[in-house]
């Protein structure tokens, strides 16, 4: 999982709509938190680029100047364009209407963030992966693999199990820190490491590492 996404909010109604489906969003994109920020946050940086194909046919010789002005739009001008759908600039002392469809709004990534915009909606994803997030990801993968073994063996949903894991360095912290969570999810009465795996141990893949595991009914 990743830690959070940030969503700039222009209207309270939009925030309410996001909050109403926030659990679904977090589940679908595997993120722990959704935070809301003001549109003027330093995390969200945008620039505008003229759409030459659309504007060129309409503006002709004025296109070059229009392109320069659009490229120099500041944050407030881009925000106004996204909110109202149009913005008026002046070329050779004449007003020229620029429509949102005439330009491409580009979100710039900052270190540790991935930013994207579409149809006036911007999302910033915190892509920093901490040790805790890695451990949680390993724990979730392990749960998934054990659940598959339960299903393949046609265990009843109430059957309690015992789990033995091959001793692997990458696994120690994740299992020790999330042992209660793992046991609760897979109905394990015991979850322990073993230096010597029995012949009936299975091989699974966790975090791109092969791992021997023995699952049996308690």
Which domain CATH number covers 86? 3.30.720.200
Q: Is residue 168 over pLDDT 70?
A: yes
Question: In terms of residue numbers, what domain contains 17?
Answer: 2-43+110-126
Mean of per-residue pLDDT scores for the chain? 89
pLDDT score recorded for residue 183: 97
Buried b or exposed e, range 81-109, using 16+ CB within 10 angstroms = bbeeeebebebeeeebebebebbebebee
Using pLDDT thresholds of 50, 70 and 90, give the confidence band for residue 1: confident
Same domain flag for 150 and 119: no
Q: State whether 178 and 212 are in the same domain.
A: yes
* Same domain flag for 31 and 120: yes
**Residue of higher predicted confidence among 54 and 73:** 73
> 59 pLDDT exceeds 70?
yes
Q: How is residue 109 annotated by DSSP?
A: P
The candidate with the shortest Cα–Cα distance to 162, out of 148, 146, 174, 178, is 146
The closest of 39, 38, 60, 52 to 104, measured between CA atoms, is 52
- Rounded CA separation 195/171 (Å): 13
> 181 and 122, same structural domain?
no
Task: Please check whether residues 153 and 187 belong to one and the same domain.
Answer: yes
Per-residue pLDDT at 39: 65
Q: Do 150 and 178 belong together in one domain? A: yes
Statement to judge: residues 175 and 210 lie in one domain? yes
- Whether residues 137 and 211 share a domain: the answer is yes
Q: Are residues 154 and 91 in the same domain?
A: no
| 3-state class (DSSP) for residue 60 | helix
> For residues 99 and 86, is the Cβ–Cβ distance under 8 A?
yes
Most confident of 12-16, 35-39, 161-165: 161-165
Asked if residue 78 has pLDDT above 80, the reply is yes
- pLDDT (average), residues 91-111: 86
């Amino acid at each position: 999982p990743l830690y959070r996404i940030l969503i700039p909010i222009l209207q309270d109604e939009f925030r309410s709509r996001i909050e109403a489906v926030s659990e679904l969003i977090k589940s679908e994109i595997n993120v722990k938190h959704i935070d809301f920020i003001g549109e003027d946050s330093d995390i969200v940086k945008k620039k505008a680029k003229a759409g030459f194909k659309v504007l060129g046919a309409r503006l002709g010789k004025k296109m070059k100047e229009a392109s320069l002005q659009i490229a120099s739009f500041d944050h407030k001008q881009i925000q106004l364009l996204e909110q109202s759908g149009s913005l008026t600039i002046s070329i050779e002392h004449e007003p020229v209407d620029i429509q949102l469809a005439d330009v491409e709004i580009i979100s710039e990534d900052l270190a540790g963030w991935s930013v994207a915009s579409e149809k006036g909606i911007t999302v910033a994803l915190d892509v920093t992966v901490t040790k805790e997030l890695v451990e949680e990801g390993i724990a979730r993968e392990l749960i998934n693999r054990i659940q598959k073994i339960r299903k393949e063996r046609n265990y009843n949903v109430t059957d309690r199990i015992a789990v033995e894991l091959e001793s692997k360095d990458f696994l120690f912290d994740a299992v020790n820190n999330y042992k209660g969570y793992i046991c609760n999810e897979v109905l394990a009465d015991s979850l322990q490491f073993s230096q010597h795996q029995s012949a009936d141990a299975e091989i699974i893949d966790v975090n791109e590492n092969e791992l021997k595991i023995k699952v049996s009914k308690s």
